[in-house]
Amino acid sequence: MAKNKLMKFDEMKSMERVFEPSMADFIDVEYELKGNWNEKVFKNNNPIVLELGCGKGEYSVGLGRKYPNQNFVGIDIKGARIWKGAKEANEENLTNVAFLRNVVDFVEHFFAENEVDEIWCTFSDPQPKKPNKRLTSRQFVNRYKKVLKPNGIVHLKTDNTLLYESTIEEIEEYGYEKLVDSNNIYEKDWESFSPEVQEILSIKTHYETLFANKGFKIKYVAFRVD
């Protein structure tokens, strides 16, 4: 493995709010932070928001800066990506931002029923050949239901038309409550968003920048799953 990657992995091990559970920590046993994120990690009772497939964690860090009274957990399987956000959060002493390295597929092993208030899926892999692996598929939404509070919200920001359209189809098929639906946030629907939502949507992730520079329209969907 590249030396640079090893250094990042080592550095993450020393970070207070980066967690890298192995299967033995949560399969057949209760993960120690499940139901205890606020007590053991954040030391407050504030709402918890997840960023799934967070990559470098721009939304976790960006929202963490903007909302000190909410807690954010970025989840991704790729450690070298998480390192970037974790380092920033550490350097800025954002005590309301944490990272969990694992697959989203196990989300209900990491969080308890009603522990999570909102979920962000930021530029998730569109999985053209494996619809069940899309983070807004029925399979994943059923997992989110196990951890989200009633009325909990799922947000999807994406450049990808297939992922956007399949999410809208799932919302309609399964009767989720659609709160926002924009297939072109910046050029078409920007003025319809409140200043606060505009500020949130202005956070740009690594993949957003890559695809926006190639001319892809950025889409945003928010829905309630209860």
Ligand X SMILES: C[S@@+](CC[C@H](N)C(=O)[O-])C[C@H]1O[C@@H](n2cnc3c(N)ncnc32)[C@H](O)[C@@H]1O
78 binds ligand X (CB under 6 A): yes
Question: Least CB distance from residue 193 to ligand X, whole Å?
Answer: 19
Q: Alpha-carbon distance 217 to 57, whole Å?
A: 21
Name the residue type at position 154. V
Give residues 195-224 in contact with ligand X (rule: CB under 6 A): 205-208
76 binds ligand X (CB under 6 A): yes
Residue choice 6, 23, 29, 103 for contact with ligand X (CB under 6 A): 103
| DSSP letters spanning 166-224 | HHHHHHHHHT-EEEEEES-TTTTSGGGS-HHHHHHHT---HHHHHHHHTTPPPEEEEEE
Catalytic residue among 10, 105, 125, 226: 125
Question: Least CB distance from residue 77 to ligand X, whole Å?
Answer: 4
How far from each other are the two terminal CA atoms of the chain, in whole angstroms? 43
- The count of residues interacting with ligand X (CB under 6 A) is 20
Output phi, psi for 76, to 5 deg.
-155, 155
Cβ closest to ligand X, residue 69 vs residue 183: 183
Residue choice 54, 119, 221, 225 for contact with ligand X (CB under 6 A): 54
Q: Alpha-carbon distance 81 to 173, whole Å?
A: 34
65 binds ligand X (CB under 6 A): no
Q: Alpha-carbon distance 41 to 206, whole Å?
A: 27
Question: Least CB distance from residue 218 to ligand X, whole Å?
Answer: 11
Query: Annotated catalytic, 25?
Result: no
Q: Alpha-carbon distance 79 to 83, whole Å?
A: 6
User: Tokens for 123?
Assistant: 């530029």
Cβ closest to ligand X, residue 4 vs residue 139: 139
Q: What x-and-dash track marks residues 144-183 binding ligand X by CB under 6 A?
A: ----------------------------------------
Q: Which residues are the active-site residues?
A: 125
Task: By CB under 6 A, name the binding residues for ligand X.
Answer: 53-56, 75-78, 81, 103-105, 122-125, 205-208
